[in-house]
Structure 1
């Protein structure tokens, strides 16, 4: 007893000495070194066959996924702490923000599983541990680990007993992040006693807390993902063999496929794998090692950067992170898909004479780099999975970004030029002639200077391209085609990608198949060259770690491409209506954009051959295009696809009627769970989307000045749409009449607060986590391939 008391006295003396004589919190690290030894990464990752691995997989990982990953995943994870994999947890945290819109120089990349492969390598890149890396004892593991201390802090200081948290809580996406190291935890605990984890959400249950604390106490053993099934590995071998065939035609085809699918989650869609349940997902990567050997990934900023090796191989690497909705883009591989790729790229009779350079001036311009691949093949490859192609603009290299997304309207429809039009086969020569007009900002890489003057340069370049394209199209329309709705792809009567709806939710967005909601303000008609350039602007060429100039010029150039898609749509309207409609879309546009709008983008004056019968041709045109793609319109988001009664659907439709300033009171995304009267049915899920109206979307920084609240609308859809819910509602089917009535009465923030009092599940609600579990469980049951863990970083405090 005397010896134990002496040890306590000695530790207390050391702590007092260090605090008094250092006067600096950072020196408290000496205390931890003395008490528990020097810090160094621990061998936590155990084999999948280990009994500890089973405990982690069955008991620990589900808690982490459902309580931690909902905020800690992707580039926008607070403190770069990605808890979606064992390796990410072991990597730890970093005080630097990935989303830093004011940086003058590009940041060093810190992509999980790419830029470093071991925890020790991450330490050298500035990541600090959140698990104890000193003496592995129960005391040290709980006292010298950030996660353990954060859990304890939350348990000792749960959320205040109030519905809405006060202003001391900051839930803005650009909030200051503390990111304390273990040496800084005492200061953090004193200064922010209520900021334990999960931040600003209810404490996890005592059972969950005890389970996690026991795991941490035992050293936090973890395991990586289980290996794929043998039949999946056989598919991996088949696809890797195909992608690495040696001919120039094959090499160029594989490069094209890689540069378009590198952000997708690939899975094998075969009968036997479907019967196994949720498939394994893979990423297409470049490796220094050949198929059959462990992957040695080639880490470049962009997929078209020089690999700087004599030879490399395209490999399928297993996704090792929890599938989260905001980055999940499933892409099916099958024998049919392989045959389709061969029929597009390999079987046609053409010759590839040389592989394109990896120099940025070539590689960043797909219309030049791949000019020896048939245009029809490239376009059809992207159109076959057009939702995936366009979704990559939003879910690909970024998890959020107002700078990138305020370049699109909140709700619009997308159509595509028919890939079987005769002029496509003649387009390659035209694109070759436009080499100087088709360069993209990414050729300047990640440190772009003078973005405004660069924009003027690219605007002039785009103007020249449009004038030449209009002349080319004039010739084609004169000789081969007619300016009618038959120019629009109808999905060949079977492909549901023929029409898309895009919803923007301030700094994130969603892409869904079909034409959802009421007729929108704008629409795009996308051609091959436009689709390709947007991909290389916003996906292949975009660097989330780039400097301010790179991100700004990317956003500004997207203005030009968006207007090209809009003007393609307007070309089907009567000539007299085109300018009038464009003027309405771009009220009070900035000076540079106004000059551009008055010139190049409106050059096309070929009369439409669409016959109109009313004085509202835009409405007529959208209805005609809707009829054009009607056969391939999916029903997933239609309210009548729910299992509620027809009477209940009437009340849901009433909610859909909210518009104007009343609509502006609601958040961008509200997820609704309805308990059916028939208790044998599963809970029914819905999403209420607010569509914010703007005078124009050309302003970079002052969105508020462009808002037109009286034009705001709402769209209610069946199922979940979006990855970042702002609010949860819970109701019974029998309560829908009362819910609809109260929704229609919302005219102020106080009215909305009363609505949440009756139906909302606020972030402070003790039932928040049980509701979250039920919601995600039902989402995954409804859509096991497409669903992923949601993100709560934008959940409101109202």
Structure 2
């Protein structure tokens, strides 16, 4: 790295004295930034991947950034949009623009890293400002003109107060806290006004060694590492996939378009483990891939540098002029693996043959490719009507955990508007594909393409009330048509039975999923995890496809409030549809009772919808019930049916000794006030006498009278119905609290929670067992948890996000 000429002697003295004092500032009377630091000079800080500087960055600097900085600066809701999870993010810098603005009347311009701009100059034009020095490259200026360094120095000189709980007068906490995003020229005022707001914010300072390493790195010009050259075997697989996805005949092109619109968020990796073998799901988790990829549309063909096409949505017109030529490319993703956005999906030669067998080999014709007019591209039942439904359904179903995770781990880092439409805990099952095969169902869905329109056809700036009325009417028409089709196909009566359920083909653990909602984030895992939940969904092809397009493909985090609220309103229909499908497996009286219970105190409009659903049920199911609790009996029947497919990764009894099980299992009986006092997600570490540790997640599932209230979720809360679920391992991306204790104190810990009555009781419990954000043990505990996660679940492990840590 080149350094510019000598500094004036006066400036050297000023900077040296300021740096020795630990507080560099540009606020000198009579001197502007150009006079003090020199003219702006933007350059690439990435060194060759095989250089000594790149090795130092990977070995010494990046681990500190990941463990101390990315924990708050890794997702869309990172403060000031500063993403420190990659070299490109560090060089891009920060912005004063707030992504999550719940009152935005007009859609804003997207600022997706690696997509919406590809050079630092382009990001500066979008009002991003540097956090590392972009002026004269001298050691002194590299530190004095670095927002990143000065934030670290501010914390080093002003450590957290000694109190266990931070004073809210000193710290602004919570997701909706006002953000201060100072530029280098504004840092002096920030330091004066907020001396306690150094980085890591509201967390313990870096150790002396960590601080020295980052300071030395910034002083040396903050050199980073360019992407390494892919090994030959990986590059060959990339070439094979890019060749397959860019075949020019219509059948291949339509297939590639469908694949892209379902994979564009995936964390793709290469592995040779068998795809659809129950044992392989565990085997695949024993190694962590070295390389990750994103599937993008590029203006450049294979063999040339990738140039992503920055459309808002994956189905938008690429707008490449007369030729309209673009290419599907696998773009290496060098960023740190962040749990919130990490969705691993395996590529292999077996995967490619699987896609060929479903999409290419069947005898059908694609006479004309669909265009990119929104009425077509935003409606998958129109755009992909030529592809057999059996292929489309299987494509999503075989990896159902990934498919459903898309609407949980997409760009919605803060998704209350999208997620307060689902319960805090429920199970998901799927309709057997053979019941949806054949031309009859395909023709039916084609005939319903207009009724199955999604809000995405309105794009990112839309109204609310008129669209709700319209989509309510369209959904009612679809249900009426579906009822008529069922009567025609099943003359006389329809007898639902357990044969309707997909059994995972006797090997696939995706046959049953569990979804946990954590207020404004959520988690999807395989298996029937936790206690029998209040609700469940039974999902068929059309519902699965609509969920994907509503909450993944068409959801725009930069859209206006109308777009986001319409998305949430439409999801009401899809949730009720999934719940209704499940209810059809129960007797009439139980269906009505549960529907009334799930939708207590709801509006007349929703009640009318529920009545409409019940009228469409042609007969009671062909399932024999013997108890007074049909729903619980049905859950038991399904679990027995799927016993060989169910994933037991989060089954407590499979991971602890009998004595520990009897103690920890008591947490699964905690309901009401004690549960309400607990955070959404807590991580418990039990240290054993042999020096090993076990990690558990404690979840609070919040009770609601119904989920149809758009903006008034608190009005529907029923704290008396809150309950806890404890699972082995790490579940969720945003922990609110950490607890750590030796295993022989587990009973004390459980008793403290069981007997909790108020905030004072919780505070006392934290005093005894908690690792607060102010604790001297905080970073060591954080490092231990990350190490445990990487060791025990290497494929899925990612950096947890601390933006929701509590302060109590």
Verify same fold: TM over 0.5.
yes
Mapping of residues 424-503 of structure 1, within 5 Å: 424-449=438-463, 451-478=464-491, 482-503=495-516
Distance, in Å, in 1 between the alignment partners of 2:46 and 2:576 is: 51
The 1:7–1:463 alpha-carbon spacing in structure 2 relative to 1, beyond 3 Å, is: closer
2:288–2:795 CA contact under 8 A, matched in 1: no
Matched, 1:215 2:217: yes
1:422 is displaced (CA, Å) by 5.7
CA contact (8 A) 2:15 2:140 kept: no
CA contact (8 A) 2:531 2:668 kept: no
C-alpha contact (below 8 Å) 1:689/1:714 kept by paired residues: yes
Q: SS where residue 387 of structure 2 aligns? A: coil
Report SS of the residue matched to 1:266.
Answer: strand
Q: Which residue in the other structure is 1:264 paired with? A: 266
**Consecutive unaligned residues in structure 2, runs of 5 or more:** 1-6, 17-25, 275-282
Distance 2:141 2:493 in 1: 77
Please tell me whether the aligned partners of residues 459 and 596 of structure 1 are also in contact (alpha carbons under 8 angstroms). no
Task: Give the superposition deviation at 1:270.
Answer: 2.0
- SS of alignment partner, residue 510 of structure 1: strand
Provide the rounded CA distance (Å) in 2 between the counterparts of 1:657 and 1:308.
56
> Match of 2:414?
400
Inter-CA distance 271–577: structure 2 relative to 1 (3 Å threshold): closer
Task: Find the aligned partners of 1:672 and 1:745 in 2 and give their Cα distance.
Answer: 18
Alignment of 1:157-196 (within 5 A): 157-168=158-169, 169-196=171-198
CA contact (8 A) 2:131 2:146 kept: yes
1:423, CA displacement in angstroms? 5.1
SS of the residue 2:806 aligns to? coil
Instruction: Work out whether 1:776 is the aligned partner of 2:778.
Output: no
- Is 1:351 paired with 2:365? yes
Bigger CA drift: 460-469 or 228-237?
228-237
1:109 counterpart residue number: 110
Whether the aligned pair in 2 keeps the contact of 1:658 and 1:714 (CA below 8 Å) is: yes
CA shift for structure 1 position 29: 10
Trace 1:718-797 onto structure 2 (pairs within 5 A).
718-797=728-807
Counterparts in 2 of 1:113 and 1:29: CA distance versus 1, 3 Å: farther
Question: In the TM superposition, what whole-angstrom CA distance separates every residue of 1:654-693 from its partner, at most 9, and x where no partner exists?
Answer: 22221112111100111111112333xx421100111000
Q: Is the 8 Å Cα contact of residues 262 and 285 (structure 1) preserved in structure 2?
A: yes
> Contact 2:298 / 2:307 at 8 angstroms: preserved in 1?
yes
| CA distance in structure 2 between the aligned counterparts of 1:351 and 1:42, rounded to whole angstroms | 51
How far is 1:592 from its partner?
3.6
Deviates more, 1:750-759 or 1:90-99: 750-759
Which position in structure 2 is the counterpart of 1:597?
610
Q: Secondary structure at the match of 1:649?
A: helix
Structure 2: how far apart are the matches of 1:535 and 1:677? 47
Alignment of 1:172-571 (within 5 A): 172-270=174-272, 278-309=289-320, 310-421=324-435, 424-449=438-463, 451-478=464-491, 482-571=495-584
Aligned residues: 780
Deviations 1:709-745 (A, max 9, x none): 1111111101000000001011112221222222222
For residues 149 and 77 of structure 2, the distance between their equivalents in structure 1, rounded to whole angstroms, comes to 22
Instruction: Return the offset for 1:7.
Output: 5.6
CA distance in 2, matches of 1:728, 1:393: 27
Q: Given that residues 494 and 618 in structure 2 are in contact (C-alpha distance below 8 angstroms), is that contact kept between their aligned partners in structure 1?
A: no
Q: Deviations over 1:328-386 (max 9, x none)?
A: 00001122211211111111111111111111101101011111000011001100100
- Between stretches 81-90 and 701-710, larger displacement belongs to 701-710
Task: Please give the residue correspondences for 1:687-706 in structure 2 after superposition, counting only pairs within 5 Å.
Answer: 687-706=697-716
Specify the alignment match of 2:594 in structure 1.
581
CA contact under 8 A between 1:76 and 1:99: conserved in structure 2? Answer: yes
Match of 1:132 in 2: 133
Three-state SS of the structure 1 residue aligned to 2:738 is strand
1:663 is the counterpart of 2:665: no
| Equivalent-residue separation in structure 1 for 2:620 and 2:689 (angstroms) | 56
Distance 1:42 1:420, change over 3 A: same
| SS of corresponding position for 2:490 | helix
Closer, same or farther: CA 133–601 of 1 in aligned 2, 3 Å? farther
* C-alpha deviation, 1:276, in angstroms: 8.2
Q: What value does the CA root-mean-square deviation take over the aligned residues?
A: 2.1
After the TM superposition, which residues 94-105 of structure 1 pair with which residues of structure 2 at under 5 Å, given as runs? 94-105=95-106
Using the TM superposition, give the Cα deviation of residue 176 of structure 1 relative to its aligned residue in structure 2, in angstroms.
Answer: 0.7
Cα contact 1:467–1:600 (8 A) shared by 2: no
Q: Deviations over 1:199-233 (max 9, x none)?
A: 00000101000110111111111113333322111
1:591 and 1:480 mapped to 2: Cα distance? 30
Task: Give the secondary-structure state (helix, strand or coil) at the position aligned to 1:456.
Answer: helix
Counterparts of 1:28 and 1:284 in 2: how far apart (Å)?
Answer: 51
The one-character-per-residue Cα deviations of 1:452-510 (angstroms, maximum 9, x if unpaired) are 12111100100000111122123333489741111010101100000000000000000
The 8 Å contact of residues 87 and 225 in structure 2, kept in 1 or not, is answered as: yes
Once residues 239 and 721 of structure 1 are traced to their aligned partners in structure 2, the CA distance between those partners, rounded to angstroms, is: 32
Relative distance call for 1:105 and 1:6 in structure 2 (3 A) is closer
Task: Kindly indicate whether the alpha-carbon contact (under 8 Å) linking 2:580 and 2:613 is maintained by their aligned counterparts in 1.
Answer: no
Q: 1:327: how far off?
A: 0.2
| SS across alignment from 2:257 | helix
* Aligned equivalents of 1:544, 1:729: Cα separation in 2: 33
494-503 vs 564-573, which moves further: 564-573
Per-residue deviation at 1:4?
A: 8.7
Gap change, CA 1:26 and 1:540, over 3 Å in 2? farther
Structure 1 unaligned blocks of 5 or more: 13-24
Partners of 1:29 and 1:129 lie apart in 2 by 23
Give the secondary-structure state (helix, strand or coil) at the position aligned to 2:797.
coil
After TM superposition, give the deviation of residue 773 of structure 1 in Å.
0.5
Counterparts of 1:198 and 1:532, CA distance in 2: 41
Compute the displacement of 1:602 (Å).
5.1
Distance, in Å, in 2 between the alignment partners of 1:127 and 1:29 is: 26
Contact between 1:398 and 1:544, CA under 8 Å: does it hold in 2?
Answer: yes
Relative to 1, partners in 2 of residues 1:709 and 1:422: Cα closer, same or farther, differing over 3 Å? closer
Q: CA deviation at 1:545?
A: 0.4
The answer on whether the counterparts of 1:29 and 1:183 sit within 8 Å (CA) in structure 2 is no
Q: Report the Cα distance in structure 2 between the residues aligned to 1:320 and 1:601, rounded to whole angstroms.
A: 51
CA-to-aligned-CA distance 1:26-79 (integer Å, 9 cap, x gap): 998952211111223233111112211111111001000110000001211110
In structure 1, C-alpha distance between the alignment counterparts of 2:626 and 2:122, rounded to whole Å: 68
What TM-score do you get using the length of structure 2 for normalisation? 0.94
Of 650, 654, 672, the residue aligned with 2:666 is 654
Q: In the aligned structure 2, how far is the partner of 1:673 from the partner of 1:456? A: 50
TM-score (norm 1): 0.95
The residue that corresponds to 1:21 in the other structure is: none
Change (3 A) 1:279 1:480: farther
Work out whether residues 368 and 431 of structure 1, in 8 Å CA contact, stay in contact via their aligned partners in 2: no
Change (3 A) 1:478 1:751: same
- Specify the SS of the correspondent of 1:500: strand
Q: Distance in 2 between matches of 1:62 and 1:485?
A: 50
Which secondary structure state, in structure 2, belongs to the residue aligned with residue 632 of structure 1? coil
Question: Structure 2: how far apart are the matches of 1:472 and 1:621?
Answer: 27
Which SS does the other structure have where 1:599 is aligned?
helix
- Partner residue in 1 for 2:631: 618
User: 2:121 corresponds to which residue?
Assistant: 120
Q: How does 1:64-75 map to 2 (within 5 A)?
A: 64-75=65-76
**Do the aligned partners of residues 739 and 314 (structure 1) sit closer, same or farther apart at CA in structure 2, a change above 3 Å counting?**
same
Contact 2:15–2:144 (Cα < 8 Å) also in 1: no
